[in-house]
A and B are shown apart, each in its own frame.
Chain A
């Protein structure tokens, strides 16, 4: 059964299937420069060709968004995902689909129905490119997330006291991740004190200061107190110049002072603890 706009093109393609795949594979293989084995590629392309021909032959053959193209789309998503994850370029990925056009032209020949078929391949090529881009986006955002994770260690200093030593520039996105991680650690470790040490932060702008403030208020809502340590002179000046109110938030010059403050509030006798541990 063949739908109108494609005439007998599908039947002719089916008849020349082996030749078609051979030509198609040759073009694709040239662009991939041996990074995918011929056998693998052959299997991949045959599957796609078979699905495309079946879809084109269906009643909705001209509409690549129709249900008839479900399998084709699934195969193309697999293909573009694989290519994106293996580091192939957009061009190398798109050519895997577009080269089918040339293969059909050379193997089966052009007729009036070739235009309709060509339109279908264009649509599928664009679709492939879109899913390629999507996968790349995912890869990039995953990496960004991992970097954020790496850059925000929350360490336990004492039973009930955790510290977050911040190093490097804090932007809004990072400040948000930091805030969430710190608050979660308070719950996980049952800590009532958190020290946020900003010795390693070169500059603080209004937004970052706001994030710090919000973290502190959120921690209070959960039943924990934050102490900020390591505020450098320039940052103190910025904070005052920006008119940011730190109100009744405890600030200390160094992490050591902040720890002493927290221990004092918990009621830890440092001298007694030291002799208990033989220090």
Chain B
């Protein structure tokens, strides 16, 4: 159960984060659909870290609560932070303006979702997906 720390500073890093999350999800024996959901959520969040947080890092690790295995991914940036979290979580990506954060969508794809942010203080998003 090794944790993997990955930098996010370019488009290629987003791909690497996806691959790391996929590998962890396969190891934790998530179903194909759950793997796909988690990797998609990770892709949204890694892109947010890059685009809105000005880059940062991701931590990917396997977790075990005694009954089930899962994968936890943490996305951190030292960007401007989010002033209105509730608004950021409402679906914006369908507006087509390109301003959507994908946060609300990512939240629906995982089992646990936590966000820590304050204006000027960066943003940390933690997600967990458990094997069914």
Question: Residues of A with Cβ closer than 8 Å to B?
Answer: 130, 134, 137, 180
Contacts and interface: CB of A to CB of B under 8 A. Distances in A.
Interface string B33-54: 1000000000000000000000
A130 B66 CA distance: 8
The 5 closest A-B pairs by CB, nearest first: A180-B33, A137-B67, A130-B66, A134-B67, A134-B66
A130 B33 CA distance: 29
Contacts of A130: 66
B45 to A, nearest CB: 23
A109 B124 CA distance: 57
Contacts of B66: 130, 134
Interface in B30-86: 33, 66-67
5 contacts: A130-B66, A134-B66, A134-B67, A137-B67, A180-B33
Nearest to A173: B132
Contacts of A180: 33
A266 B67 CA distance: 48
A125 to B, nearest CB: 17
Nearest to A183: B33
Nearest to B68: A137
Interface of B is mostly: loop
Nearest to B31: A180
Interface string B81-125: 000000000000000000000000000000000000000000000
A158 B87 CA distance: 49
A32 B13 CA distance: 57
Interface string B4-42: 000000000000000000000000000001000000000
A137 B33 CA distance: 22
A166 B51 CA distance: 45
Contacts of A137: 67
A161 to B, nearest CB: 24
A130 B67 CA distance: 9
A234 B67 CA distance: 40
A134 B67 CA distance: 6
B28 to A, nearest CB: 15
Contacts of B33: 180
Contacts of B67: 134, 137
A151 to B, nearest CB: 17
Nearest to B32: A180
B31 to A, nearest CB: 8
B124 to A, nearest CB: 30
A166 to B, nearest CB: 19
Nearest to A184: B32
Nearest to A130: B66
Nearest to B67: A137
B105 to A, nearest CB: 14
B123 to A, nearest CB: 30
Contacts of A134: 66-67
Nearest to A145: B132
B39 to A, nearest CB: 17
B107 to A, nearest CB: 17
Nearest to A179: B33
A114 to B, nearest CB: 30
Nearest to A176: B33
A180 B35 CA distance: 14
A256 to B, nearest CB: 32
A180 B33 CA distance: 8
B34 to A, nearest CB: 10
